[in-house]
Amino acid sequence: MRTRLAATATALALATALTVGAALPTAAATAPASGTPASAAPGVQDILDRLPDDAVAGALIRRDGVGAAAGPVTADARFRIGSVTKLFTNTVVLQLVAEHRIGLDTPARRYVPDVLPEAYGGVTVRQLLDHTSGLPKPAPTPGPADGPGWQLTSVAPEDLLRDSFAAATGVPSPTPADQQYNGLNSLVLGLIVEKVAHRSFADELRRRIIVPLGLRHTSLPAAEDPTIPSPHARVYVDGQDVTEQSPYPWTEGGMISTAADLDRFVSALFRGRLLPPAQQKLVFEVPNVSNGPDNTNCGGPDACYSIGGLLRHQLPNGEYAWGKTGSRPGWDNGVFATRDLRHRMVYSLNPTGVGDVLPYVKALVNAGLAD
């Protein structure tokens, strides 16, 4: 099934297979090798017209409020947004900063002393937000190698943090010199929000963002809730249906949404509807540090993540776009926009597990944000 670009009030989503996390390099897009446009600069519809193919079983885009899809999708399907969740998490934290309930440069351990070891006592909230905290690599999480039912296994944020700190080697630097993208930062931020607000993070998210913006198809399920509201695609990993899976990544990657809702959220965030001016400036503020040696997300020598959690991506014309990628088993997604919202793009792909989907991501984002 292919759908031409047409105005629609609903999101378009897709069926999918395996992916665990995709970065967006800053290099100009090249056409994928199989079933994709021969042109060096394909348009969005050109890419969709050649899908599905061997590498991508389905795709959805929403460009400037106009949606299209390729593959077995429905117009109003929901999908698991993965690390795009981090944008919501950082926004909630910055709202509490604006209310003087969280200090941006306050040591995070002051809020959650039972979560962060003393060795990380100098890590500030700002450093958690912009990934300069120097927290250790996350401990292993459930995956296909764990056998049948792995996708239903939950890991509490406190347990993952404890295991990660226990496995850490070396002494953390009191002043990390680079930016290393790390989901543990978002888990600590979520726990700080709950400690300060005296509510669950999900409640704060609904009260502060979901309800005010009317995001009727957006939610943060409880870790024990593996369901996804209908309608939705059936998704597979290695031939196993993993549509129902634990959303245990929580504030790091557990949310469910639609392209239309993500488009509305990013538009509101960029327009300053969610934060006062002082905190709004931080949404696009990238620390002046180097890109970490293990960080493949930025695609260059310099940091690319802002305090707001946005990834700065340079388009082929030299202009910067801002957004976030995010994946869960079965979904590979992203949302990007020019800072002036002249162009906005939400995408979601369903890789087959054969071949690399990054060229498709680059091609879609670069084409979608081009004039």
Q: Averaged in consecutive runs of 10 residues, what is the pLDDT profile of the chain (371 residues)? A: 30 25 33 41 85 85 89 80 98 98 98 96 97 95 94 97 93 81 98 98 98 98 94 82 94 97 98 98 97 86 97 94 94 95 93 84 92 87
The pLDDT assigned to 19 comes to 26
Q: Count CA atoms closer than 13 A to 203's CA, side-chain side.
A: 9
What residues are paired with 327 via a beta bridge? 332
Full-model pTM: 0.88
Buried b (16+ CB within 10 A) or exposed e, 119-135: ebebbbbbbbbbbbbbb
The pLDDT assigned to 37 comes to 37
Contact 63, 344 (CB under 8 A): yes
The pLDDT assigned to 296 comes to 82
Contact 226, 245 (CB under 8 A): yes
Contacts of 64 (CB under 8 A, 6+ apart): 343, 344
